[in-house]
Amino acid sequence: MDPTKKKKPMLANVLQATRLVADVFEKLGVRYVVCGSLASSAHGMVRTTMDADLIADLRQEHISMFVEMLKDTFYIDDEMIRSAIEHRRSFNIIHLESMFKVDIFTPKQRQFDENQLSRRQETPLGEGQISLFILSPEDIILAKLEWYRLGGEVSDQQWRDILGVLIIKQNQLDHQYMQQMADQMDTDDLLKRALQEAYPEIDPLLS
Average pLDDT rounded to a whole number, residues 59-63: 97
- One DSSP character per residue, the chain reads --THHHHHHHHHHHHHHHHHHHHHHHHHT--EEE-HHHHHHHHSPPPSS--EEEEE---GGGHHHHHHHHTTTEE--HHHHHHHHHHT-EEEEEETTT--EEEEEPPPSSHHHHHHHHT-EEEEETTTTEEEEE--HHHHHHHHHHHHHHTTS--HHHHHHHHHHHHHTGGG--HHHHHHHHHHTT-HHHHHHHHHHH-TT-GGGG-
Q: Are residues 163 and 99 in the same domain?
A: no
Nearest-Å Rg of the Cα atoms of the chain is 17
Could you give the CA distance from residue 53 to residue 180 in angstroms, rounded to a whole number? Answer: 25
Domain tally, the chain: 2
| pLDDT reported for residue 6 | 41
Q: Are residues 126 and 148 in the same domain?
A: no
pTM score, whole prediction: 0.89
Q: Are residues 91 and 57 in the same domain?
A: yes
Give residue-wise pLDDT tens across range 146-177.
999 999 999 999 999 999 999 999 989 999 99
Give residue-wise pLDDT tens across range 176-201.
999 999 999 999 999 999 999 999 88
| CATH code, domain carrying 61 | 3.30.460
| pLDDT reported for residue 66 | 98
| pLDDT reported for residue 119 | 98
Cβ–Cβ contacts within 10 Å for residue 51, how many? 15
pLDDT at 61 over 60: yes
| pLDDT reported for residue 2 | 44
Contact 103, 90 (CB under 8 A): yes
118 pLDDT band, cuts 50/70/90, is: very high
Q: Are residues 197 and 96 in the same domain?
A: no
Give residue-wise pLDDT tens across range 65-112.
999 999 999 999 999 999 999 999 999 999 999 888 999 999 999 999
Q: Are residues 112 and 158 in the same domain?
A: no
49 pLDDT band, cuts 50/70/90, is: low
Q: Are residues 121 and 188 in the same domain?
A: no
Could you give the CA distance from residue 88 to residue 79 in angstroms, rounded to a whole number? Answer: 14
**Listed residues 105, 135, 165: the one ending a domain:** 135
Could you give the CA distance from residue 192 to residue 64 in angstroms, rounded to a whole number? Answer: 44
Q: Are residues 27 and 121 in the same domain?
A: yes
Q: Which of 147, 189, 139 is nearest to 169 (CA)?
A: 139
For residue 41, what are the domain limits?
1-135
Q: Are residues 86 and 128 in the same domain?
A: yes
Could you give the CA distance from residue 5 to residue 192 in angstroms, rounded to a whole number? Answer: 38
